[in-house]
Amino acid sequence: MRTPDFWRAEGLASRLLSPIGALYGAIAQRRLRRAAPRAALPTIVVGGLTTGGDGKTPLAILVAQLLESQGETPAVLTRGYGGRRDHAAPFVVEPRARSDLVGDEALLLADHALTIVGVDRAASAGLAREKGATVLVLDDGFHSRRLAPDMTILAIDADYGAGNGRCIPAGPLRAPLDAQFAAADALVLIGDGAAGKAIAARAAKPVFEAHTVPDWQIAHELKGARVVAFAGIGRPAKFFETLRETGAEVVATRSFPDHHRFSDADLAELAELRRKHGGRLVTTMKDAMRLHHQGLDVCALPICLSVQNIEGLAGTLTDALARARVSRAS
């Protein structure tokens, strides 16, 4: 879906939709509080406050990398949003699989860790254990509560924060803000925006500050280059601004809904924009996953997270795993 502009600030549309948002929020709050089965393996859940664009997937990748550096074998579990819905059983995502079958985020995650797609989280957890995993990382399991977390980390976009502070469809929140904070153990604040800092202070939870960092080599290649940027993510404007910060000359932009499947007409439009502006087509890694088999010449700019107190976050994960293993042994 495309993020509505009125989700960022209070307005007439958000006020009119607020009764529906309040009902949605009440249901989501009850879901956050419900009991869930515990997996045999320690379970780290990564979530985002809003419907998309918080930085949840880069955070899940970073968590998996930190766990691997500690000698763990993480498995990332995801529903495979944007892929087929008729999979009868969970499965391991193979590199270079088709995004329309497994989902774009699953492909991106699979470049960094064992990744399993499945709607049934308990079955996915069992498959992960069979494949030798020692810890689970749930990329999108915070609000669904299909498995009980041993630690929950929330990603917050510091520039966007909680938007207008209302729940879907009146605003971007997937559950009331305080209910999400109550279910979280730690926050990762991405960026320097005042909005994110204000709500992080309200949470009264450990906060780790982070920034997005573009791949230095590709960023260097794009510096000074004319660029036609496009993205089908939660907040495309964030990506366009990142490109400008690398020094690229962004001569045109095109935004698509999150997880957008590019049609032949879309590809023709992008090719025409490239011809018209004489610029290089550049997109996100997530979008590139949906273009693997489309034959369009596109440059993808990888982005990762850099956490200011990375040792502190690593130590928090270590402590959570130790507590999880003690509780399972008792």
Kindly tell me if the per-residue pLDDT of 96 is higher than 80.
no
Q: Would you place residue 53 in the very low, low, confident or very high pLDDT band (cuts 50, 70, 90)?
A: confident
Residue that is written with structure tokens 């579990």 in the block: 77
DSSP string, 251-285: EEEEE--TTPPPPHHHHHHHHHHHHHHT-EEEEEH
Lowest mean pLDDT among 21-35, 100-114, 237-251, 299-313: 100-114
Q: How many residues does the chain have?
A: 330
Kindly tell me if the per-residue pLDDT of 64 is higher than 80.
yes
Q: What is the mean pLDDT of residues 249-254?
A: 96
CB contact at 8 A, 84 and 107:
no
Residue that is written with structure tokens 């590139």 in the block: 288
CB contact at 8 A, 315 and 330:
no
Q: What is the pLDDT of residue 330?
A: 79
Q: Would you place residue 82 in the very low, low, confident or very high pLDDT band (cuts 50, 70, 90)?
A: low
pLDDT digits (tens, 9 = 90+) for 161-170: 999 999 999 9
Kindly tell me if the per-residue pLDDT of 175 is higher than 70.
yes
Helix, strand or coil, per DSSP, at residue 243: helix
CB contact at 8 A, 9 and 120:
no
Amino acid present at 274:
R
If you average pLDDT over every residue of the chain, what do you get? 92
Kindly tell me if the per-residue pLDDT of 87 is higher than 70.
no
Kindly tell me if the per-residue pLDDT of 85 is higher than 60.
no
Residue that is written with structure tokens 């979530």 in the block: 47
Kindly tell me if the per-residue pLDDT of 2 is higher than 80.
no
Q: What is the pLDDT of residue 80?
A: 74
Amino acid present at 326:
V
Kindly tell me if the per-residue pLDDT of 271 is higher than 90.
yes
Q: What is the pLDDT of residue 312?
A: 97
Helix, strand or coil, per DSSP, at residue 194: helix
Q: Which residues contact 264 (CB under 8 A, 6 or more apart)?
A: none
Q: What is the mean pLDDT of residues 314-330?
A: 95
For residue 264, the tally of other CB atoms under 10 A from its CB is: 8
Q: For helices 56-69 and 310-329, give the axis angle rounded to 10 degrees.
A: 70
pLDDT digits (tens, 9 = 90+) for 11-44: 899 999 999 999 999 999 999 998 999 999 999 9
Kindly tell me if the per-residue pLDDT of 135 is higher than 70.
yes
Torsion sign (Cα): 53, 57, 63, 65: negative
Query: Which token pair is 216?
Result: 């230095």
213 forms beta bridges with 304
**Backbone dihedral region for residue 174 (phi beyond 0: left; psi -120 to 50: alpha; all else: beta):** alpha
For residue 51, the tally of other CB atoms under 10 A from its CB is: 19
For residue 210, the tally of other CB atoms under 10 A from its CB is: 25
The rounded radius of gyration (Å) of the Cα atoms in the chain is 20
How far apart are the C-alpha atoms of 318 and 323, rounded to whole Å?
Answer: 9
What domains can you pick out in the chain, each with its CATH number? 5-212+306-329 (3.40.50.300), 216-301 (3.40.50.2300)
Kindly tell me if the per-residue pLDDT of 201 is higher than 60.
yes
**What number of CA atoms fall less than 13 Å from residue 124's CA on the CB side?**
29
What is the maximum alpha-carbon separation in the chain?
67
Kindly tell me if the per-residue pLDDT of 293 is higher than 70.
no
Q: What is the mean pLDDT of residues 153-182?
A: 95
Give the H or E element holding residue 46: strand 43-48
| Preceding omega of 169 cis (within 30 degrees of 0) | yes
